[in-house]
Structure 1
Amino acid sequence: MNPVTPTQQRDLVCSTPLFTDLYQLTMMQGYFLQGMHTQEATFDLYYRRQPYSGGFAVWAGLEPALDYLGHLSFSRADLDYLASLQLFRPEFLEALGGWRFSGTVTAFREGRIVFPHVPLLSVTAPLWEAQLVETALLNTLNFQTLVATKAARCVIAAASSPHGGEVVEFGARRAQGPNGALSAARAAFVGGATATSNVEAGLRYGLPLSGTHAHAWVQSFGSELEAFRAYADAYPDSTVLLLDTVDTLKSGLVNALTVARELREKGHELRGVRLDSGDLVYLSRRVRAGLDAAGFPDVKIIASNDLDEQVIASVIAEGGRIDVYGVGTQLATAGGEGGGALGGVYKLAALNGEPKMKLTGDPVKSNVPGVKRVWRGRDREGTVTFDVMTLGEMPKEGDLVSDPTNPLKHTHLPALEWEDAREVVMRDGQRVHPADDLPTIQARARAEALQLQEGTLRLLNPHQYKVSIGQDVADLRDRTVRDIRADQVGS
């Protein structure tokens, strides 16, 4: 695997403002025609349910999202296209000619561990600016957070092996298009994957690359041994051989050992072997025993074949001897039960200083109004135990806090040390600090995971982390609900 080297990250999200839903643009024009477009708005981006029925999520995609916001403007071609739709008035299109994103973004730093109902990112900007960017922000942050979380779950499963284990991303061929593949490779690294097979992702993000030959390589030669020898001759210091084109144990392992001995005689070592089919537990144990007996204990066993965190955990529990898990389809598509889409939303929380709230019969779908701060509490051992939203004041021991979706579920806070969990990452449309590189983001995610309460990282029946709103937020919500209902009755 190649080492991570600092590179300039080339943005995945195109900077065109037309990467949006039509109704964002029609609302923008409506705000403009009503003279409302410059009113200061705050939108919160959050999600409602943990993916994969898990206990946590890994926040990913923030740096590309900030790149998008920082480069956003309407080109002449964009405006000509909008004019051709015959939906937009000349004066509105003229105003868009000088349009730029000028807002403030407050967010968790990328790589942090996050939880439902907490505003992960808040945009405060003129109303038409904050409205336009909803689609692109949700597209970028929902998918990358989901993939990073899936990767972290796979890494947690692999790490449960007494022999150690790592995860590499192999999913480009099954991803939802080129941008999906690239976004997935980036997010998988945030979640803890050590490498990707996607060469373009390696270029864009400085990711380590991993890969070997396919079955077609073996099929292209007169024999498997001839194919293995040819590959070892081409790549003597990075040879990884695929064992299952003919017969994993009777042919693949035997021929791989022959090539391993020949490499050693020339001063090189076989790097690894890959299993891509069959009973991975049985085959990996037999292959490990064969390699060790022949004097090659350092040769890695790599497995692929539609893996996910559940399969990895099962292989380890049954005594499999795999060193590297190449996770493809389930990682690049964020598949599995409870996956597919994060379901993040972007809701108006305040306009011109007044709280705004979506009032619905389903309390889970009602947003928490007001401009809020998010506080994260740790106990004396440094374990993260609580996220609390307030209107500004730091929580303190004994404060009454309640569930954001159930006012009847409340508790008093224990003694904790609190941190302001989010920070301003963009002001006046400009980044506050340089972009974090991916190794830094990955390290942040790994460190945060180690600070969680016991059981939060469990793949099955995890501990449910506590998220609450302070009494000031609860009172504001109650007043906002009363005001909305009174306005509707009065109208």
Structure 2
Amino acid sequence: MKFLCNYGKLLFTDLYEITMSAVYFYEFKDTWGIFELWVRNLPEKRGYLVFCGLEFAVNYLLNLHFTEEEIEFLKKHPSLSHIGDQFFEYLSGLKFTGNLYAMPEGTVFFENEPVLRIEAPIVEAQIVETALLNFITYNTSVATKASRIKYASQIDGKERKIVEFGARRASDFLSSIYAARASYIAGFDGTSNMLAGKIFKIPTFGTMAHSFVLSFKSEIEAFKKYIKYFPQTAILLIDTYDTIQGAKKVKMAGKDIKAVRIDSGDVISISKEVREILDRDGMEKTGIFVSGDLDEYKIYQFIKNSAPIDGFGVGTKLVTSDDAPYLGSVYKLVELRKGNERKKVAKFSKGKVTYPGAKQILRFEENGKFNHDLVISEDEDVKGGERLLIKIIENGNLVYNLPDLENIRNYVSKQILKLPESVKDIYNPSKYEVKFSERLEKLLALARKEAI
């Protein structure tokens, strides 16, 4: 992940983070800011979210720095040209010296629950806002989408292979890398993205393109040539000309074909006919792999209509989180600390009210299922429940063993199993209960009174 550490560069931020930091530097000496990151509202048809991107956030915080070239760029910026040299000298040596609390990566969460908290000198805490939102928002969107696709693919109790195919449709290079990782921890079996496979040790899979079939004089010649070089792993694309005719030619290419791929047409009826052809030709073990603008809704309908499909390649609608392409994630100041003084703060903008002070989340279970969450003040003594926010970085040093992808993947699987079935419904999920403690409600009322 070395190339991702380059994003520890502090210039990956918005201008107003720099201008606010300049004021903080001169006016808020020895003051710590406590910020929390959460999602205000779940997107439509989302009953939960999968927390993803923590490892990127941690690496970013541990590698924060400005280069000399970037400091010179800032000095020449029109908005900063009158700011004293002391501020730029401070920025040149800036690194993260604070604390990070967060949910373990892969934890399911719900609206208005802080997934991470930064406690640091206020400049450090403020200036990382843009990057943290970037890392967590996109990765969480894709991981959540992937978990829904995984869930839809096994509604009949049968496990099917799902591969991430989205690199060519992702918004940019980096998001394609993120998407491969996020989908894998959420339950996908691998990716077609070779770079992501190398970086994260994710299994990689591939089939063939229509261009390969078109390169040969005939479809059957293309099949035979591919099998000649890849006899154990060949997945033949059979819909370049006519899917049914393509299926009939598979037996002429060989008997032990791993699978065929269908990328177009009425998948439900075509897959049934293809299955009949393969079985009739003695190729009962040859699987059917489907791709082509798939999402959880299409896959759900395929399974509901008994389409004999063994695996899916999902790309465009995954990496863009097509039906919910953004999250209303926010990063807000909740408390100021200077020495022994603490000031819990809140905002009261219409539709954007925030609860004051650092918080913790307790999760309660009943009969092996998540029952409800309680958001409390960080220092409240409340019995029962699992505390979800744990210390990751202390005084700028990593104090938590970041799990590998396989452990995160297993953790996500267990998290999804513990969700009530109604919350996982892909069309009309029920709302999971999240409560706020009586003390938090009183703190909010007091903050509102003081603000007025």
* Coarse TM-score class (shorter-chain normalised): over 0.9
Hey, what does 2:223 align to over in structure 1? Answer: 228
Distance 1:89 1:185 in 2: 44
Specify which of 286, 293, 300 is matched with residue 280 of structure 2: 293
Specify which of 327, 341, 344 is matched with residue 342 of structure 1: 327
1:346 aligned partner, one-letter code: Y
1:468 aligned partner, one-letter code: K
* 2:422 match: secondary structure: coil
Matched-pair contact (CA < 8 Å) for 1:60–1:145:
yes
The 5 Å alignment of 1:172-211 reads 172-211=167-206
The 5 Å alignment of 1:318-329 reads 318-329=305-316
Matched-pair contact (CA < 8 Å) for 2:48–2:108:
yes
Hey, what does 2:267 align to over in structure 1? Answer: 280
Unaligned runs of at least 5 residues, structure 2:
none
2:318 aligned partner, one-letter code: L
Matched-pair contact (CA < 8 Å) for 1:12–1:182:
no
TM-score by length of 2: 0.95
Matched-pair contact (CA < 8 Å) for 1:175–1:333:
yes
Residue 166 of structure 1 and its aligned partner are, at CA, apart by 2.9
Hey, what does 2:448 align to over in structure 1? Answer: 481
Distance 1:157 1:100 in 2: 44
More moved, 302-311 vs 452-461: 452-461
Describe the superposition over 1:30-75 as per-residue Cα deviations: whole angstroms up to 9, x where unpaired.
Answer: 11122x1531111010001223422111110001110000011111
Residue 91 of structure 1 and its aligned partner are, at CA, apart by 1.4
Hey, what does 1:393 align to over in structure 2? Answer: 380
More moved, 456-465 vs 341-350: 456-465
Distance 2:271 2:30 in 1: 63
Matched-pair contact (CA < 8 Å) for 2:5–2:59:
no
* 1:14 match: secondary structure: helix
* 2:385 match: secondary structure: strand
TM-score by length of 1: 0.88
Distance 2:398 2:349 in 1: 36
Measured at CA, do residues 187 and 340 of structure 1 come closer, stay the same or move farther in structure 2, by a change above 3 Å? Answer: same
1:62 aligned partner, one-letter code: L
Residue 90 of structure 1 and its aligned partner are, at CA, apart by 1.5
User: Do residues 53 (structure 1) and 39 (structure 2) align?
Assistant: no
4+ residue runs over 6 A deviation: none
Hey, what does 1:410 align to over in structure 2? Answer: none
Matched-pair contact (CA < 8 Å) for 2:5–2:63:
no
Specify which of 24, 28, 51 is matched with residue 31 of structure 1: 24
Describe the superposition over 1:329-354 as per-residue Cα deviations: whole angstroms up to 9, x where unpaired.
Answer: 00011111xx1111110011101221
Describe the superposition over 1:432-456 as per-residue Cα deviations: whole angstroms up to 9, x where unpaired.
Answer: 1232111111111110111122311
Specify which of 245, 254, 257 is matched with residue 248 of structure 2: 254
Residue 161 of structure 1 and its aligned partner are, at CA, apart by 3.5
Distance 1:164 1:179 in 2: 30
2:376 aligned partner, one-letter code: T
Hey, what does 1:445 align to over in structure 2? Answer: 412
Hey, what does 2:422 align to over in structure 1? Answer: 455
User: Do residues 377 (structure 1) and 364 (structure 2) align?
Assistant: yes
Matched-pair contact (CA < 8 Å) for 1:28–1:37:
no
Specify which of 340, 348, 351 is matched with residue 359 of structure 1: 348
Distance 1:186 1:170 in 2: 12
Matched-pair contact (CA < 8 Å) for 2:391–2:400:
no
Distance 2:186 2:104 in 1: 14
The 5 Å alignment of 1:45-124 reads 45-86=37-78, 87=80, 88-124=83-119
Distance 1:70 1:106 in 2: 14
Describe the superposition over 1:408-466 as per-residue Cα deviations: whole angstroms up to 9, x where unpaired.
Answer: xxxxxxxxx41111100111112112321111111111101111223111112212111
Describe the superposition over 1:282-337 as per-residue Cα deviations: whole angstroms up to 9, x where unpaired.
Answer: 1111111222222222222111110000011111112211111111100011111x
More moved, 219-228 vs 86-95: 86-95
Distance 1:67 1:245 in 2: 44
Distance 1:387 1:162 in 2: 29
2:347 aligned partner, one-letter code: K
Matched-pair contact (CA < 8 Å) for 1:107–1:425:
yes
Distance 1:48 1:100 in 2: 29
2:31 aligned partner, one-letter code: Q
Residue 163 of structure 1 and its aligned partner are, at CA, apart by 4.3
RMSD: 1.5
Distance 2:100 2:43 in 1: 25
Distance 2:407 2:3 in 1: 17
Hey, what does 1:400 align to over in structure 2? Answer: none
For this pair of structures, how many residues does the alignment match?
444
Unaligned runs of at least 5 residues, structure 1:
1-7, 262-268, 397-416, 486-491
Describe the superposition over 1:241-265 as per-residue Cα deviations: whole angstroms up to 9, x where unpaired.
Answer: 0000111112x1122122132xxxx
Measured at CA, do residues 254 and 9 of structure 1 come closer, stay the same or move farther in structure 2, by a change above 3 Å? Answer: farther
Distance 1:121 1:330 in 2: 28
Residue 12 of structure 1 and its aligned partner are, at CA, apart by 6.7
User: Do residues 15 (structure 1) and 15 (structure 2) align?
Assistant: no
1:308 aligned partner, one-letter code: D
Distance 2:278 2:76 in 1: 67
2:237 aligned partner, one-letter code: L
* 1:455 match: secondary structure: helix
Measured at CA, do residues 234 and 349 of structure 1 come closer, stay the same or move farther in structure 2, by a change above 3 Å? Answer: same
User: Do residues 465 (structure 1) and 451 (structure 2) align?
Assistant: no
Matched-pair contact (CA < 8 Å) for 1:51–1:57:
no
Distance 2:254 2:31 in 1: 70
Distance 1:383 1:240 in 2: 40
